[in-house]
Amino acid sequence: MRAVDIQSEITEILVTEEQILKRLDEIAAQVAVDYADKDLLLVGVLKGAIMVMADFSRALPTVAPIDWMAVSSYGASTKSSGVVQIRKDLDEDLHDRHVLIVEDIIDSGLTLSWLLENFASRGAASVEVFALLRKPDAAKVHVDCRYVGFDIANEFVVGYGLDYAEKYRNLRDVAILAPHVYS
């Protein structure tokens, strides 16, 4: 599904699928150089990173295992409780591995900063972040992000893995969701 198919539900297309795929190719080429001869492990944060991870890992010209983690700091609320709960832990041992966390979006940075500390405490050789999208104006904590696809405004966006009430993840573009949809 493309954003043009749901024009009445969005206000603006921020990034098209074509722009995303081009940027993923660029970042994958850089990651291949930066991690040459290193034991790289890609870690995706469920559920939002599924689309990014799939296309990014296919763009990598090198072998890189993938693992997944699911965490929550929201529960049933729309506001973070500040307490991160692990819903699904990693299957891989991080000791002496070079970990690249693959994220769909960084907004407040709170959960991601917790993940960085958690992975470092597990003995990872290094832990870096690749986020397809970053909202600089939404940051509550500073998170070093080695690779960023696109900086975007602090708007409610959907598509390319990002959802509203589990809808719109399969949207191929990233778009601002119209307020009448979620109000």
Q: Active-site residue among 34, 107, 144, 173?
A: 107
- Beta partners for residue 162, in sequence order: 159
Strand 147-151 vs strand 126-134: parallel, antiparallel, or unpaired?
parallel
Q: Is 107 a catalytic residue?
A: yes
Q: What is the DSSP string of 40-58?
A: EEEEEETTTTHHHHHHHHH
- Beta partners for residue 41, in sequence order: 99
- Positions marked catalytic: 107
